[in-house]
Amino acid sequence: MKVDKDFQIVTMKKQKHIALIAHDNRKEDLIEWVSTNKDKLGRHFLCGTGTTAKMITNAVHLPVKAFNSGPLGGDQQIGCRIVEGDIDFMIFFWDPLTAQPHDPDVKALLRIAVLYDIPIATNKSTADFLLSSPLMYEEYDRKIIDFSKRMHRK
């Protein structure tokens, strides 16, 4: 990890740590996408929120480390792992038309993902583009903005 001005540079390794998350109305869509991309995803470390992780493991037979269900703190667990540098990448098939009881947690998770400059796919098209990127198979330097330094300069 290097520090450059008001950025912290964190190198993602060739093997990415990918979080897989889906709201209830999108779980089957995510399972289908994972199944289609099983060979590519099998080269990386996978984790996800409780029900989604278990459904993917059962349907696609890929190992997916399960955290708690989203409404029971799983989104916050994933966010914590992003902050700690243990998750590099997130595929989150969310349901934009259904209010979720844990909407504040979802918003916090997305905010953390942006703050820590990790790639996020919230639909199939974006997930396809990200997974097909040559950057998926090489090291990549993320520049994480140090907002405290920026705030002190003002």
The second-level CATH assignment, the architecture, of 1-150 is 3-Layer(aba) Sandwich (3.40)
**Residue of 12, 9, 33 whose CA lies nearest to 121:** 33
Per-state percent for the chain, helix, strand, coil, to nearest 5:
50, 25, 30
Structure confidence at residue 150 (pLDDT): 65
Q: Is 23 annotated as a binding residue?
A: yes
In the annotation, is 75 catalytic?
Answer: yes
Supply the Cα-derived Rg of the chain in whole angstroms.
Answer: 16
Which H or E element spans position 53? helix 50-60
Could you state, in order of their start, the residue ranges of all structural domains in the chain?
Answer: 1-150
Phi/psi region, residue 80 (left: phi>0; alpha: psi -120 to 50; beta: rest), is: alpha
Q: Is 17 annotated as a binding residue?
A: no
Contact criterion met (CB below 8 Å) for 33 and 124: yes
User: What stretches of 13-124 adopt beta strand conformation (E)?
Assistant: 17-22, 45-48, 64-66, 89-93, 120-121
Q: Is 27 annotated as a binding residue?
A: yes
Structure confidence at residue 154 (pLDDT): 58
Q: Is 152 annotated as a binding residue?
A: no
pTM value surpassing 0.85: yes
Catalytic residue, from 4, 24, 75, 117: name it: 75
**What is the residue-level pLDDT of the chain in tens, covering all 154 positions?**
554 478 888 999 999 999 999 999 999 999 999 999 999 999 999 999 999 999 999 999 999 999 999 889 999 999 999 999 999 999 999 988 887 777 888 899 999 999 999 999 999 999 999 999 999 999 999 999 887 766 666 5
